[in-house]
Structure 1
Amino acid sequence: MDKYKQHFFNNIRTKLEQWESLSEITNEEVYRFLHSLAGTSSIIGLQKIGDKARVLMEQLDETSDRKWTFEEVKRYLIEIIEDCYEYEEGINTSLTKSKVRNSNEPVLLIIDDDTSFLMFLKEKLEAIGWYVVAIANPEKAILSFYDVRPDCVIIDIYMNEKNGFEVLEFLKQKLKQQFIPTVMVSVEKEKSIRMKSYEMGADDFIHKPFELDEFIVRIKRQLERKKQIDELLLLDELTHVYNRKYLKQAYAQVQNEWKRSKEDYSLAVLDIDYFKKVNDRFGHLVGDVVLKEFANILKRETRIKDIVFRYGGEEFVILFPKTNVDEAMEVLNRLRENFSQYVFHQEESFSCTFSAGVVQILDATKPFEKWLELADQALYEAKNNGRNRIEQADKPKVMQHQKTVKMAIVDDDPIIRTVMADIIKKLPLNPKRKIELQTYKDGKAFIQSDWHLGDPCFVILDGVMPNMDGLEVLTNLKSKKDANRYRVLMLTSRKGDQDIAKALELGADDYMTKPFKFDEIIGRIEKMLQRMM
Structure 2
Amino acid sequence: MNGTNDQRETERSRRSRKLMEEGRRLYLDDLAKQLDRLGELLKEEGDEEAPAEIYRTLHTMKGSAPIFGFRQAGKVAEEWLPLWEWAAPDPDDPLPPDKPQERSLPFLERLGLELAYHRQQLELGRLETSSPHPAPPSQGRLLVVDDDPFLRSYLARRLRLSGYEVDEAANVETATRLLRERAYDLITLDLIMEPQSGYELFHYLKADPTLKWIPLIVLSGRGELGDKVRCFELGADDYITKPFQFEEMAARLSRLLARTKSFEHLAFRDPLTGVYNRRYFESRLHQELRRLESEPGPLSLAFLDLDRFKSINDTYGHSIGDLILQGMAYLLQQNGGPGDLVARFGGEEFVVLFPGLGRKEAHERIEAVRRRVHGQPVYRDKEGRSHSVTFSAGIAEWKPGMGGDRLVRLADEAMYRAKETGRDRIIEAGDAENVTEAAAEAVRRRKRILIADDDELLRSIIRSELEELGADLIEARDGEEAFALLRDESPDLCILDGLMPRLDGFGLLARLKAELPVQAERTRILMLTGRSHEKDRAGGLRLGIHDYMTKPFSLVELEMRVKRLLQLEEGPLSICP
TM range (shorter): 0.3 to 0.5
Q: TM-score, normalised by structure 1?
A: 0.35
Larger Rg belongs to? 2
Larger RCO, structures 1/2 (Cα 8 Å, 6+ apart): 1
**More strand as a share of residues:** 1
Q: TM-score, normalised by structure 2?
A: 0.32
